[in-house]
Amino acid sequence: MPVLNEYASLARSLVSIDAAQFKAAMRCMASTVTVITSREGSVSNGMTATAVCSVSAAPPCILVVINQANKSHSLIERSGIFAVNVLSADQIAIAQHFALKPDDPLGRVDYRSGLTGVPMIEGCAAQLECVVEAQTKSGTHSVFIGRVVFVQETDRLPLIYRGGEFVELSRKSD
Ligand SMILES: Cc1cc2nc3c(=O)[nH]c(=O)nc-3n(C[C@H](O)[C@H](O)[C@H](O)COP(=O)(O)O)c2cc1C
């Protein structure tokens, strides 16, 4: 397919947009706010994250994207487990807490231990506990694909992040 190859080669030669342009476009996306929890031995942690996505239903897998500089990254890389806690609309304080690398991350947060011992935060819209199946690095971040081994869902509305601020969803009536 010489024509396709020609276009592919042309596409690869294009210069990337700069980081500011990239961030401006990403700010237009509305994303569900989660806290990714992790645990290795006696060390537990949590980090606020919006880069979370469904991958497949069979087997049930999701992906999370985590900065390699984050404490959570090394915990998940070594332990091979994590949980995605989908925050409910009234959990903004928890989102703010876990974005700030607190000294005692779980100290004042209500949680229970999941099947793998990873912290599962109470009051969330949903929870998904995962075992890492694959990891791939891209730039500053890693994509971890997790096979889901436990879920709990509720009808609570999730917390949303858009344009650098937390926003609420509302139900549309017909
Ligand atoms: C709304 C919001 C979304 C975020 N999403 C991500 C994300 O998807 N991946 C990531 O690596 N960091 C994300 N962050 C930044 C982390 O929450 C932050 O760096 C955290 O303190 C890392 O904690 P740790 O070093 O204890 O793991 C987000 C922060 C906020 C406020």
Q: Is 9 inside a domain boundary?
A: no
Distance 47 CA to ligand 1 centre (A): 5
**Structure-token pair, residue 94:** 């928890």
Sole residue written with tokens 């990254």: 73
Residue type (1 letter), 99? A
Task: Provide the 8-state DSSP code for 99.
Answer: T
Which pTM value belongs to this model? 0.94
Q: Is 26 inside a domain boundary?
A: no
Domain of residue 124: give its range: 31-162
CATH label of the domain that carries residue 121: 2.30.110.10
Q: Is 44 in the pocket of ligand 1 (CB under 6 A)?
A: no
Distance 6 CA to ligand 1 centre (A): 39
pLDDT one digit per residue (tens) for the chain, 174 residues: 455 678 888 998 999 999 999 999 999 999 999 999 999 999 999 999 999 999 999 999 999 999 999 999 999 999 999 999 999 999 999 999 999 999 999 999 999 999 999 999 999 999 999 999 999 999 999 999 999 999 999 999 999 999 999 998 887 876
Give the total number of structural domains in the chain. Answer: 1
Q: Is 12 inside a domain boundary?
A: no
Q: Is 82 in the pocket of ligand 1 (CB under 6 A)?
A: no
